[in-house]
Chain A
Amino acid sequence: MKTVTLTLTNPPKLLLEGQNITPDNFAGKNTAEIATLDLWEGKQKIPLGKHFTVAGDGGATAAETKIVLRGDCTRVKRIGQQMTAGEIVIEGNADMYIGGWMQGGKIHVKGNVDSFCGIGMEGGELIVDGNAGCHLGSSPRGEWRGMKGGLIRVAGNVGSDTATFINGGTIIIGGDADIHVSTHGEGGTVVIKGDAKGRVGGQMVKGDIYVYGTIENPLPGFSMVGEVEQEVDGETALFAHHIGDLGERHPVSRGKTVYANLYTRL
């Protein structure tokens, strides 16, 4: 594994569109070539080297390439977008769309991220040590085919509209979640270890949600069916099991109607 270190030494006036900062794009390129990759500041196309000091060369393939971002990337968007392999470590904060449409590899953000991170995710891992904004692991606007796979782990709190149209994969939130979780979900798992504000599982067809704390405003479309013991994220606990959203269509599998499951910790 070869490491390329990008240090934000010349911060942009506007937000930077950093979708070219991926192991896929850096693979097979040396320091100088990486510095010529395109970024966008507003509508201006500019070379990556204008804002970042580049050190190190990319590996032969994406899988053999690691990118480390230093400096304040609070205003750098789309890092790791559509990456298929390799690794990215962001030492501080980052902006929106981090790991969007990610297919493989791993992104570790040591600070906070803004909204739309991990949207349309198909595989790989996105780890955030701080908080995340809205639309974490959600489907892109208008799209009904949301997160398909992979793992998103946020240690802190998240904003609204997490996991909209989730179809697969896992999202684990260490803190609290704002309104709208797994809206229109049709698969996948969301774990909220803190509290959820409300509208959890609205119009959900299939899939699982775990809430360890309280749901401030639970939806009437979920009905409790019993208590179950479940192993979640390596620990076993007792949960109240609710099925729903009863106002939504539900598929029938082997003669039995399939519902979405909402588990609240007892």
Chain B
Amino acid sequence: MSELIIRNGFVFDPLQGIRGDRMDIGIKDGKIVETSTLSAPRTIDAAGMTVMAGGVDIHSHVVGPKVNVGRLFRPEDKLFKSPHKSPTCSRMEMGSSVPSTFKTGYDYARMGYVFVNEAAMPPLHSPHVHEEIRDTPIIDNAAMPVFGNNWFTLEYLKNNEIENNAAYTAWLLRATRGFGIKVVNPGGSEAWGWGLNCVHIHDPVPYFDIAPAEIVKGLIETNEFLGLPHSVHLHCNNLGNPGNYTDTLDSLRLAEGYAPKNDFGRKQVMHVTHLQFHAYGGDSWGNVGARSKDIMDYVNAHDNITVDMGQVTLDETTTMTADGPFEHHLRAQNNLKWANVDVELETAAGVVPYIYSPKVKANTIQWAVGLELALLAKDPMRIFLTTDHPNAGPFTRYPRVIAWLMSRAARDATMKTFKWLDRTIDATSIDGIDRELDLYEIAQMTRAGPARALGLTHMYGGLAPGMDADVAVYALNPGDMPSDPAAIENAFSRCALLVKDGVVTVRDGEVVTEPAKRTIWVDVKVPENTQVQRDIYEHFLRHYSVKLDNYSLFEEHLHNSRVIEVDTTQ
């Protein structure tokens, strides 16, 4: 394989503490190497530009059945919004808020991203997830199966059988080729099967006689018992409702007393996702207000927690979540089309289009809440840039979110478009925040931090020798940053260069090659557990509509596997 050297760029690598030093990055055989080991490298001049590791997205909905429902039931999301086929790409691209698999891969690559974690895989439908992973070019993917409403999990945790739950979890991770433990509205999506919900962490789950708090704690214990690369990844109860910040604080407190146990450098025991949707005060949409400060005071003081933003981008988008009751609730608010599904024994899902408008007070408050969370964060290694794509906005808006974070002027310009600006300012603290993040902090929020929280810093998120040669170069000079925030947005939208696995993949914002992408999953070795084997057999015999033999992913569904092995038997 060829050698490359990326010369003279301003390098930002928080994993190594490098803050914009002018450095050369050496690449050989798809890995970062010391430049001294190169013999005859091809040179790429990055003088005057910003160099970072490839971007890492910790939470995005890009593959699988609910994403595809979004594509299928929103043809209008493609109309007049699909570009002509790029002459440099092998496939045509479609869609806007729910792009086609191909557009998803290309657009992430154009932004300099190389790894995207699919945030919710219904275990029963894991073959569909993996088929779409295969069809999403360039970017490496992992997918987290959902556990928070799974009958096995609920039964084991009700009896406090952590070891059995761990054995089941290991089995399901392997059966689905999954990456980690996702929890969506714990108990609430199961209650949805009864037309109910769990909005507080002590609300009982019908039939199972367990509450969300016990589910979350049990899953944290399971996760640390197994020592998985990533922590429990939690979508809290009571998403999106005024006054929910107290429920969020209750959920955050569930992590108290737990410490991470893993060999992957992960420092948190709980990742709380799309925090923006969970930080509202008031008791109605009439008096809703930001409670970002209460939430971030807690997060800042507890370093066993990481979070991501779920930033509202003020676009027309498509919401989709395993939080079935939430989507029903949303449909009743906006009267738009609604898809709803139950996944037997495991989870639920719903999909509803949504328009976040600068003319709607609730939406502009949501916009402010997301930014406040990031701007009030003390440690950008523990808060990550997401839009919960596509729930709060499409991932293609990350560059705009970066511009808002880096520039008070960008925030002010957007706020000028708000119909209810005064009320938004009254209900939030965004207008009192002058903080502007720098490129180092952006690198923390978009690659180093998420990679560490995922337990993947041996491969992604940094530029140390031995790591994957995933390098993004942006046409931004840190010593001479543009005064126009639109220039920051443009630079992050279309990277000057992306090297993926040592291959020049994007040049001047255009995809020029499509190197092989990979599927990351976690294979956990646990001691043989006959009890759990019997439980699995029994449930498939009595309750599942598929046979056990047909359930696990067939090997041919798994595309270009990159397995992370965890051995608990040692």
Q: Which A residues lie at the B interface, using CB under 8 A?
A: 140-144, 249
**From residue 69 to 116 of chain B, which have CB atoms closer than 8 A to chain A?**
73-77, 79
Lowest 7 CB-CB distances: which A-B pairs, in order? A142-B75, A143-B76, A142-B76, A141-B75, A142-B74, A140-B79, A144-B336
- B79-A143 in contact (CB<8A): yes
- B335-A140 in contact (CB<8A): no
Residues of A within 8 A of B353 (CB): 144
Can you identify 8 A-B contacts, CB atoms within 8 angstroms?
A141-B75, A142-B74, A142-B76, A142-B77, A143-B79, A144-B336, A144-B337, A144-B353
Distance in Å: Cβ of B56 to nearest Cβ of chain A: 33
A162 to B353, CA, bound (A): 24
Q: Is the interface of B mostly helix, strand, loop or mixed?
A: loop
A143 to B337, CA, bound (A): 10
Further contacts, 7 of them, CB under 8 A, given A140-B76, A142-B75, A142-B77 = A140-B75, A141-B75, A141-B76, A142-B76, A143-B76, A143-B79, A144-B353
A129 to B239, CA, bound (A): 55
Residues of B within 8 A of A141 (CB): 75-76
Distance in Å: Cβ of A217 to nearest Cβ of chain B: 25
Distance in Å: Cβ of B361 to nearest Cβ of chain A: 19
Distance in Å: Cβ of B455 to nearest Cβ of chain A: 40
Distance in Å: Cβ of B86 to nearest Cβ of chain A: 16
Distance in Å: Cβ of B2 to nearest Cβ of chain A: 36
**From residue 291 to 345 of chain B, which have CB atoms closer than 8 A to chain A?**
335-337
Identify the closest chain A residue to B353 (Cβ).
A144
A140 to B80, CA, bound (A): 11
Distance in Å: Cβ of B255 to nearest Cβ of chain A: 41
A142 to B69, CA, bound (A): 12
Distance in Å: Cβ of B16 to nearest Cβ of chain A: 48
A249 to B335, CA, bound (A): 9
A143 to B81, CA, bound (A): 13
Residues of A within 8 A of B335 (CB): 249
A71 to B337, CA, bound (A): 43
Residues of B within 8 A of A144 (CB): 336-337, 353
Distance in Å: Cβ of A256 to nearest Cβ of chain B: 19
A249 to B334, CA, bound (A): 12
Distance in Å: Cβ of B258 to nearest Cβ of chain A: 45
- A142-B73 in contact (CB<8A): yes
A260 to B74, CA, bound (A): 26
Residues of A within 8 A of B76 (CB): 140-143
Residues of B within 8 A of A143 (CB): 75-76, 79
Identify the closest chain B residue to A248 (Cβ).
B335
Distance in Å: Cβ of A78 to nearest Cβ of chain B: 13
Identify the closest chain B residue to A101 (Cβ).
B80
Identify the closest chain A residue to B335 (Cβ).
A249
Residues of A within 8 A of B336 (CB): 144
A142 to B337, CA, bound (A): 9
A144 to B331, CA, bound (A): 14
A141 to B77, CA, bound (A): 10
Distance in Å: Cβ of B502 to nearest Cβ of chain A: 36
A142 to B74, CA, bound (A): 6
Q: Which of A140, A141, A142, A249 has the most CB of B within 10 A?
A: A142
A266 to B245, CA, bound (A): 60
Distance in Å: Cβ of B78 to nearest Cβ of chain A: 9
A194 to B90, CA, bound (A): 52
Distance in Å: Cβ of B67 to nearest Cβ of chain A: 16
Residues of A within 8 A of B73 (CB): 142
Identify the closest chain A residue to B337 (Cβ).
A144
Residues of B within 8 A of A140 (CB): 75-76, 79
A249 to B331, CA, bound (A): 12
Identify the closest chain B residue to A251 (Cβ).
B335
Identify the closest chain A residue to B79 (Cβ).
A140
